[in-house]
Amino acid sequence: MPSPVAPQPQGQPSPPLLDVISIGRSSVDLYGQQIGGRLEDMASFSKAVGGCPANIAIGTARLGLRSGLITRVGDEHMGRFIREQMCREGVALDGIHTDPARLTALVLLGVSDDSTFPLIFMRENCADAALDESDIDPAFVASAAAIVVTGTHFAMPHAAAAQRKAIRIARAHGRKIVFDIDYRPNLWGLAGHGAGEERYLRSETVTAHLQAIVPDCDLIVGTEEELHIAAGSEDTLDALAILRRLSPGALLVCKRGPMGCVVFPGAIPARLDDGVRGPGFPVEVYNVLGAGDAFMSGFLRGWLRGEALETTCAYANACGAFAVSRLLCSPESPTFAELQHFLAHGSPHRALRHDPVLNHLHHTTTRRAWSLPLHILSIDHGAHDLEPLALAAGADPARIPAFKRLAVAACERVARGREEGREEGRAGFGLFLDGALGRQALFDAQRKGLWLARQFPHGEAGAFADHPLEWPVGQVIKLIANARADARTTLAVRLPEIISVMAMARASRRETMIEALAAEGQSTAELLESLYQSGLMPDVWLVEPPGTLADAQAIDAVISRHDPACRGLIVIARNAASGPELARAAPMPRVIGFVGGRAIFGDALRGWLDGALDDDHAVDRMAERFGALSRAFDDGRS
């Protein structure tokens, strides 16, 4: 028996809080990173949120729509990953339900060649397949201007009932119904597990299911093959005519791959090309998986904001072009800033993934949020800096890693004090650590939710054993560009290594910081100018505090000219008496935080090594110093 639906509201429908809610599949996609091979031969995989509705939720959010998702995830790591990523993307979480009895769906995908994209859906009794009417909250559905239902979820009776309930609610509240036909034959039981790539198999049963949905829809979107299955005809014009009879008022959209799309707001013409079209974008096809979801995201951005159909088609075609030119699904969806830039300027690259301007724009508009300002304790010093202190105190250098763990405890203590006892994270507080002497300290800091930047082991023997690709993705890669005469390695020698690491970081979606130390007689602005000229565009710069406002303005001018999207500057506390200097620097242009190293831990380390301080008192002393500098910096900002 159908679930009851709230009665038709009296008068005009209330204004929606969300633009769109998509309903159905959510999975974790594992993409083979070796291009041109079989899935059997993949050696490594890249993880991303997947599933048509989940991809649309992320894609529309990136394009500026207020989006939500109704799905189920497992009560485990992959389910939490989907939920956390949706939160980072700004997707409303109200409709994401945790299923304690089932696992999150997984999908294995690969690129064998330009036209072969093997995939395996691992969906046996998975969480999202168990979606049912109890997951459909009438208030949440009614809060959106439109809902997106997807064809695949009509293959299961309980999931189909859930989507039909959502349609009834949306219709009762005057909302729009969008139907993404999203046909996967093997998810309808028409092909085996190994046939995930199969796009079309004729089935009267599937056609009957889909035709029962079409009359309720305001927008129907599909490829030519998907229109064929929905209409029960393998002639595209005939299929469109059938769908038009079933749904006289719906906007019909035919996706045609590299030829873009054709839209039919009214009667179906005699020729496919006589529909409304937007510009196509010829790009190199790298991976077609997820292109339809990006296309739908772009189309919804235009359609729900009342853009002309030609503009809406341009949005959709361009978003599809981005998707087919990149490897993954949801992570590759463009932001509205990317989309606008591409439509205005195009690209000199047919393979958009090789366009450095678009890649930088994508990176800076999709990176994780930081809680600002940042208060950082630096203890990433290596053996060459700290072991002589231990030997001078007659202490075993093997004790140094334990002291770094005490520094983490001191940082957490200050963070807790500044955040009124919050235990779920240490927003705005963090550390610089290394992966050698600081290995265990890194584990501690990661568990405590502290912000982390990790020292790249420049030129050290252990560099390959401490490679950034093995670091958690949220840890910022810290590099050193030291132009001073006393640098252990000259900047000219180190620069190629920095450029190489920066390229690796960008390819693996990691953020970078460069500590820029100017030579004698050289200003920080001049050094940054030369580093930008070398092609370096870090997410954040680490510099000495500008001496004057004019110095800060000169730095700001350099950054504004080369990379306006740079997060900003973190300034260095040079000694324990740096409070006034930090207070002066705090309100200067681009300054987003400070870091203190020996100024915070130096005395505590010496006292701890020679036995004058036990663990608790060493933590006390570091927390006192760190807290004082933090207060001075915050007072300067305010």
pLDDT in tens, 172-193: 999 999 999 988 787 776 765 5
User: What does the alpha-carbon distance between residue 90 and residue 58 come to, in Å, rounded to a whole number?
Assistant: 8
Give the residue from 511, 543, 512 showing the smallest Cα distance to 525: 543
Q: What is the pTM of this model?
A: 0.90
pLDDT of 464: 46
d(CA 366, CA 349): 21
**What is the pLDDT at residue 287?**
79
Q: Which residues contact 548 (CB under 8 A, 6 or more apart)?
A: none
Helix (H) or strand (E) holding 96, with range, is: strand 96-99
Check residue 5 and give its pLDDT. Answer: 42
Q: What is the pLDDT of residue 132?
A: 96
Low-confidence stretches of the chain (pLDDT < 70) are 1-13, 189, 191-200, 418-427, 459-466
> Which residues, including other chains, have CB under 8 Å from residue 47's CB and lie 6 or more apart?
28, 29, 30, 31, 81
Contacts of 455 (CB under 8 A, 6+ apart): 380, 382, 432, 433, 434, 435, 478
Q: Residue 257 has what pLDDT?
A: 82
pLDDT of residue 418: 63
pLDDT at 197: 56
Residue 396: its pLDDT value, please?
94
- Per-state percent for the chain, helix, strand, coil, to nearest 5: 45, 20, 35
Domains of the chain: 18-26+52-69+133-366 (3.40.1190.20), 374-637 (3.20.20.70)
C-alpha distances in Å from residue 217, one per residue of 99, 146, 180, 466, 585: 29, 10, 10, 54, 58
Task: For residue range 189-206, list pLDDT tens digits in order.
Answer: 676 555 545 566 788 989
